[in-house]
Structure 1
Amino acid sequence: MCRYRPGWQGADVSNVREVIRYYRQPGSRLGYRLFLNGTKHFGFYHEKDSPWAWSKALRRMEDRMGETLAQPPGARVLDAGCGVGDVAGRLAGRFGLRIDGVDLLEAHVAQARRRARRRGLDHLLTFSHSDYAALDFPDESFDAVYTMETLVHAADAEAVLRQFHRVLKPGGRLVMFEYGRETAARMPTPAAEAFRQLNDWAAMPSFQRFTYGTLERLTAETGFRVRHVEDVSRSMWPMLRCFAVIGALPYAGFRAAGLQRQFVNTMSAVEFWRHRAFWRYEIHTADK
């Protein structure tokens, strides 16, 4: 059972519960473990890669994060929504960064610590059970902050961005690998309804808000200097297509039985691939 700590006064407790519910439901736990060994982000592909080479693609996406952060070895970096610590482990092992990871789920934090010990990276990796909307770190603690497909779960993205700005040192870098989407008015009705349901059931209220340009605007409004936004959707699509192929038949059965919410990851694989023209995978880079 997750315990809400007194330091989380700024957190939207209802949304925290929904995020925890999403990650703890059997479909999420089984799917992430079975297909991605617990990792919870997409991969990055080169043109001639096999779409089924998932591990290689996952590590390449993590390397893209390290390259975009552009920090020297020993820099202190915040992983906001660390999951089981695979991104942090790659950044520590390959780039020599000192990572503090925070996550809402105690089970994720425990697993991240176990993986850090197995990799011999305890001296570079620290994980804690915390909410990135109410960080416990002092002002100007970090050289860089990143999210890897986690800000979409925020109930109040502006509050989170203000926390990131507070804990970053002057000149520090913020990198966010996040999703953006078309406005509902510019989507066919089935696509708009699919996004609405998926963002509700997968506890992604900020993805529902992040129409194109919104995250850049919020980042600037919270005091950051936006450097670059890159659309890398086509380099992510091969993994999404694999998931859609795997999920097509089960999704048809879940849909007939009215069980989409219980198996929302299967639904998301099929529907996000079907409606891929209406959303993007973006890399946002900004400085304090």
Structure 2
Amino acid sequence: MAPPVTKISGETVRADFNALESVVHYARAAERLGLWASERRLIEQHFPAPGAPLLEAGCGTGRVTLALAELGYTRITAFDFAEELLDQARHFARGKKLTRRIRFLHADATQLAGAAVPDGPSTDAPGARAPPWSPRDSRACFSFSTA
């Protein structure tokens, strides 16, 4: 029988992602990895033309965001609620001269209901929610409700 799952607070998640060890881990991934082959295939098969607006929730240090900009996407809005990770994403975007293609925002995905992102898609997704996840928690999950 699986142990009971306890709810993680937003403050715990934020603290975990803003911890130096997490920032270094994700910054290295953004700098060295780029897209996985499976991500590249999904983008090539299912994403709209590069001029279409894209919204990336939980962009972290920008590994996927930067790769999308390098693939030619020019209207990317990316957000995360871990400020230290966003600082790294902005740093990498400046270094790669991609700041005109990407707009980074500090935002909490659990607090976006009904929010409109200028120049991008609406973040209002009725019934969709992502419970807080922490790098220390290997039981990351997403849920979808019809409520």
Report the TM-score, using the length of structure 2 for normalisation. 0.68
Kindly report which structure 2 residues correspond to 1:1-288, keeping only aligned pairs within 5 A, or say none: 15-30=9-24, 32=25, 37-39=28-30, 55=33, 58-135=35-112, 137-138=115-116, 142-143=120-121, 163-165=123-125, 202-203=136-137, 207=141, 215=143, 218=144, 221=146
Backbone CA RMSD of aligned residues: 3.6
User: Any conservation in 2 of the 1:82–1:88 contact (CA below 8 Å)?
Assistant: yes
User: Any conservation in 2 of the 1:15–1:203 contact (CA below 8 Å)?
Assistant: no
User: How many Å apart are 1:143 and its aligned residue?
Assistant: 4.6
Aligned equivalents of 2:135, 2:99: Cα separation in 1:
35
CA deviations 1:140-168 (Å, max 9, x no partner) are 96358xxxxxxxxxxxxxxxxxx5426xx
More helix by share: 1
Q: Secondary structure of 2:90's partner?
A: helix
Identity, % of aligned positions: 25
User: Any conservation in 1 of the 2:77–2:103 contact (CA below 8 Å)?
Assistant: yes
User: Any conservation in 2 of the 1:78–1:100 contact (CA below 8 Å)?
Assistant: yes
User: How many Å apart are 1:61 and its aligned residue?
Assistant: 4.0
More strand by share: 1
User: How many Å apart are 1:79 and its aligned residue?
Assistant: 0.6
Q: 1:69 to 1:83 in 2, by over 3 A?
A: farther
Greater C-alpha Rg: 1
User: Any conservation in 2 of the 1:18–1:203 contact (CA below 8 Å)?
Assistant: no
The number of aligned residues is 134
Aligned equivalents of 2:94, 2:120: Cα separation in 1:
23
CA deviations 1:101-144 (Å, max 9, x no partner) are 11111111111111111112111101011101223842796358
Report the TM-score, using the length of structure 1 for normalisation. 0.38
